[in-house]
Amino acid sequence: MSKITELAVVVEEGRIDDVVAAVEVALEEGNAPMDILNAGLIDPINVLGEKFRLGEVYVPELLISSKAMKMGVDRIKPLLAAGDVKVLGKAVFCTVEGDMHDIGKNLVVLLLESAGFEVIDLGMDVEPDDIVEAVQENDDVQIVGMSAMLTTTMYAMKETIEALEEAGLRDRVKVLIGGAPVNQIFADQIGADGYTTNAPSAVELCKKLVVA
C-alpha cells in the first residue's frame, strides 16, 4: 500500500492521533503535497460523505474523520502554493438572540466546515447587531445562517434580516434559516433565501447558494 493510501485509511478511520505522522511518512516517501492533500486527505472524506448519504456511516464518524482531515491539512498547508487549498465559501452562523439551543447549529457548522466552507461561528444568543457587524467586518462572507428552536425567538431572524437591510448589506449575502419551529412558509414570510430541515441538506443548499 502506498503511504498516501495508508493516510487515506487513517483519515477514513478517524485516527486523529496518527494522522500527522501519516502525513509525514507520505512526505518522506517523496509524494507531492498536492497529491497528499487530494488523495490522502480529501478523497477519504468524499468517500465517507457518500457512505453517510447511504446511511452506512453516522455523524460522529463523519465528524471525527473531518477533524483528522483538518489536522492533516494544517500540517501540509505551509508546503502548498497559495491558492492550492480552495475554500468553497464563507459563512457567518449563529443561534439567534434569546435562544440557547445550539446543538443543531453546531452540527450544521461542523458539516459545512468539513465540506470546505469557512465558517465564523458567533455562538448562541446572538443579537442582530452582532451579526451585522460580523458581515460588515468580513466582506467576503456570502452566507448568513441562523438557527432558532423556540417559537419566541424565531422572530429574531426577521429582525436580523431587517437589520441587514438597514445596514445596506442584505444584497451582499444569502440568508439561510433553520431549527425545529421554522418552516418554508416562515422562511418566505421573512424573506430568507433558504431553509432546510437537517445539516446535510444545509450543506447542499450552501453549495448551491454560493454558485448561484
Partner 1 sequence: MAIEGIKSYYSANKAKYTTITEEECEVIIEATLEIMETAEQIIGEKRTLEILEKAGCPVNGKKVTIPRELVLKAIETAPSSFTLYNRNGEPAMEIGGTNSYFGLGPTNPYFCDFESEERRTSVSDDTKKCMIVADALPNIDFVMSLSGSNDGPANNAEVMEMKMMLQNTTKPIIGWGNSPEGIAEIIEMCGAVAGSVEAFKEKPFVGIYVGDPVTPLTHPKDSLEKLLYCCENNIPAIYLSDSQLGTLTPVTLAGSVVVGLAEVLTGLVISQLVNEGCVYVGGVINLSVDMKPVNVCYGSPEFCLGNGACYDVLHYLNLPIWGTANITDSKFVDEQAAIEGSMTSLTSCLNGAHLIHDAGFIEGAMSAALEQIVMNNEIISYARRVREGMTINEETLALDLIRSVGAGGTFITEMHTLKNFRKVWESTLFDHTIYDPAIKPTRMYERMKQRVANILETHSPEPLDPEIVEKIENIYKASVERIGKNKKK
Q: Least separation, in Å, of the C-beta of 195 and ligand B12?
A: 6
**Binding of partner 1 at residue 167 (CB under 8 A)?**
no
Near ligand B12 by CB under 6 A: residue from 178, 190, 203, 209 = 178
Whether 24 and 75 have beta carbons less than 8 Å apart is answered as yes
Give the separation between CA 130 and CA 152, rounded to whole angstroms.
Answer: 19
Q: Which residue is listed with cell 461542523? A: 110
Near partner 1 by CB under 8 A: residue from 35, 50, 103, 166 = 103
Near ligand B12 by CB under 6 A: residue from 105, 142, 186, 190 = 105
Residue 42 site contact among partner 1, ligand B12, none (CB < 5 to 8 Å, cut-off depends on kind): none
Letter for the amino acid at 205?
L
Near ligand B12 by CB under 6 A: residue from 102, 112, 126, 157 = 102
What ranges make up the beta strands (E) of the chain? 89-95, 117-121, 143-147, 174-178, 194-195
Give the separation between CA 113 and CA 117, rounded to whole angstroms.
Answer: 5
**Binding of ligand B12 at residue 180 (CB under 6 A)?**
yes
Near ligand B12 by CB under 6 A: residue from 132, 202, 203, 209 = 202
**Binding of partner 1 at residue 188 (CB under 8 A)?**
no
**Binding of ligand B12 at residue 196 (CB under 6 A)?**
yes
Nearer to ligand B12, 26 or 192 (CB): 192
Sheet with 194-195, edge to edge strand ranges: 117-121, 89-95, 143-147, 174-178, 194-195
List % helix, strand, coil for the chain (3-state, nearest 5).
55, 10, 30
User: How far lies 77's CA from each of 66, 81, 120, in Å?
Assistant: 16, 8, 20
Point out which span in 48-56, 63-71, 134-142, 149-157 binds ligand B12 (CB under 6 A): 149-157
Please report, as ranges, the residues that interact with partner 1 according to CB under 8 A. Answer: 55, 58-60, 98, 100, 102-103, 107, 124-125, 151-152, 155, 180-181, 198-200
Please report, as ranges, the residues that interact with ligand B12 according to CB under 6 A. Answer: 98-105, 107-108, 145-147, 149-151, 176-181, 196-199, 202
